[in-house]
Amino acid sequence: MAIRVNPKLIEEIEKYGAEDVTKCYHCGNCSAVCPHSREPFVFPRKSMRNLQMGLEDKLKGSLEPWLCYYCGQCSEQCPRDAEPGETMMSLRRWLTSVYDFTGISQTFYRSWKAELFTILVVTVLTGIGFFLYGFSRGDIRTYGGPTAFLPSSTIHVFDWIMGGVLAALLAINAGRMWWFMVGRQKGLRIPFFAYLRKAYLLPLHFFTQKRYAMCERKGPWLVHLALMLSYFAMLVLIMFFLHEMQAGPRIDWRFHAVGYVASLGLIGATLYALHGRWRKRQTQYRHSHESDWIFLVLLLAVAVTGVLQHVFHRAGWDVAANVTYVVHLMGVVPMLVLEVPFSKWAHMVYRPLAMYFADLLVLARADKQNDASAELARKAGVA
């Protein structure tokens, strides 16, 4: 089969943040030092090689970038300052845009101006929408009850519609990811039963990120876990218990205790990451793509406005609470609608999937080898 080479692949990946890929002289130090690099998925050197050779198609189906957690050891020890860790990060961004069938992701990653502009447009539209809706049937001076400016039942329905659309988008992209990594590989048979048997890996990796814990430094994993669990807790509270969260003025501690811890987790982890990217002391924070900043700032804004509207409401300043609520939604909507399927957030689906596929591929290859040796044994028996 002919292999198509894209000589401009490195230039393309550079738009996603990679630098110095051409400097690599393949000593293999990075692959040997990486705690995740195990056969058959040996990286990052091989990915650097594929990039240098312009093997776009091969890279499209590579799951190695998703196995990397960017602890930065490879970049620290790299004798050529070729930044393999940052290359893997850029490949993740690029792969996100490859999986995305709409092409929006590609536009966002290549142009932060386009991303920012779209976010602003969605923000403004969201604001206008909710204000119009609120004034059409509610009272800005009331936060809860039947005349509420933004009643929790309405928001609840809105949440579920948005969640459904996002899930559909992500499912399509995840399907494409499956196709590039597994589906299109000829001669690779993965029994349906294996998919089921290994399905437990998806929630396992999603909730624990246990591979991240394999990195030598455990700090980044803990911060990431805190951020992710806080986010997830918030999501559950909003999707299922929005009414209880908004009811007042009494504080329902069953839900609010979780909410407060999660808010602290979100704000703390976001500030930690922002500070790290600002100071550039840790290797994984030395390079920041514009999308990283947008993501963090948006998340922080959403978390802070969320806390504020809650505080205003409990303090009895319902007008302020309602206005802040709309501002909060003006952050939440673009964050979810744009960042989840098309940008950094998408990795919450792709990472566990990649690890799931990795196990399946190892299984399939072992089967294939067994088949081959059985075949050999049969032939030898015949002879």
Partner 1 sequence: MRTGIFIVSAAPDQRVNLQAVATYAANLPAVETVTLLDPGARIDPVTMAETIRRDRLERVVLAGDSPGHLKPVFTRAMALAEGDPDEIRLASFREHGGVVDNPTERAKSIVACAVYGVPFPLAAVPGNTPIHPATLVIGGGVAGIQAALEIADAGKKVYLVERSGTIGGHMAMFDKTFPTLDCAACILTPKMVSVGQHQDITLHTYAEVSHVSGQPGAYRVRIRKKARRVNESACVVCHACSEVCPVRVSSEFDSGISERKAIYMPFPQAVPNAYLIDEASCVYVASGGQKCGACAKKCPKNCIDLDQADQTIELEVGQIVLATGYDVLDARKIQRYGYGTLPNVLTALEFERLTNASGPTGGRIVTQTKKYNKRKQRDEWVFDPDGTPPRRVAIIHCVGSRDSNYNAYCSRVCCMYSLKFAHLVKEKIPGVECHEFYIDMRAFGKGYEEFAERIKAEGTFVVRGRTASVTEHEGQLIVKGEDIVHDRIIDFPVDMVLLAVGLVPAAGARELAGLFGLFLEEEGWFHELNYNGDPTDTERGGIFVAGACQAPKDIPDTVAQASAVAAGVLKNISRGRGLGSRSELGLSEIEAHAKKIVSL
Q: Which residues bind partner 1 (CB under 8 A)?
A: 25-33, 37-39, 42, 45-46, 77-81
Nearer to partner 1, 41 or 285 (CB): 41
Of 28 and 175, CB closest to partner 1: 28
Token pair listed for 285 = 């924070």
State the sign of the Cα–Cα–Cα–Cα dihedral 139, 143, 148, 149.
positive
**C-alpha 264: how far from chain center:** 21
Q: How far is the CB of 29 from partner 1 (least distance, A)?
A: 5
Min CB(11)–partner 1 separation in Å: 13
- Residues 308 and 8: their CA atoms lie apart, in Å, by 48
Cβ atoms 159, 238 nearer than 8 A? yes
Report in angstroms how near the CB of residue 192 gets to partner 1 at its nearest.
30
In whole angstroms, how close is the CB of 51 to partner 1 at the nearest point? 15
Whether the Cβ atoms of residue 259 and residue 253 lie closer than 8 Å to each other: no
Q: How many Cα atoms sit within 13 Å of 231 on the Cβ side? A: 20
Q: What is the nearest approach in angstroms of partner 1 to the Cβ of residue 42? A: 6
Strand partners, 41: 38
User: In the complex with partner 1, which residue's Cβ is closer, 77 or 147?
Assistant: 77
* DSSP 3-state of 38: strand
- Measured from the CB atom, the residue of 49 and 60 that comes closer to partner 1 is 49
Match 């940052």 to its residue by tokens: 86
Nearest-angstrom CA–CA distance, 343 and 96: 7
Structure tokens at 310: 């809650």
Q: Which residue has the tokens 């669990």?
A: 229
Instruction: Give the nearest distance from C-beta 37 to partner 1 in angstroms.
Output: 6
- Please report where in the chains the tokens 């999937």 appear, as a residue: 353
On the question of a cis peptide bond just before residue 146, with omega within 30 degrees of 0, the verdict is no
* 45 vs 256, beta carbon nearer partner 1: 45
Output the smallest distance, CB 39 to partner 1, in A: 6
Which residue lies nearer to partner 1 by CB, 40 or 187? Answer: 40
Residue 135 C-beta: closest distance to partner 1, Å: 55
Nearer to partner 1 by Cβ, of 61 and 163: the residue is 61
C-alpha to C-alpha distance for 32 and 14, rounded to whole angstroms: 25
Output the CA angle 191-192-193, nearest 5 degrees: 90
Closer Cβ to partner 1, 39 or 254, answer by number: 39
C-beta of 36 vs 344, nearer to partner 1? 36
* Minimum distance, C-beta of residue 283 to partner 1, in the bound complex (Å): 13
User: Between the CA of residue 211 and those of 69, 137, 208, 360, what are the distances in Å?
Assistant: 8, 50, 8, 17
Nearest to 224 by CA among 96, 232, 235: 232
Give me 239's structure tokens.
């999707």
How many CA atoms lie less than 13 Å away from 277 in the CB half-sphere?
A: 16
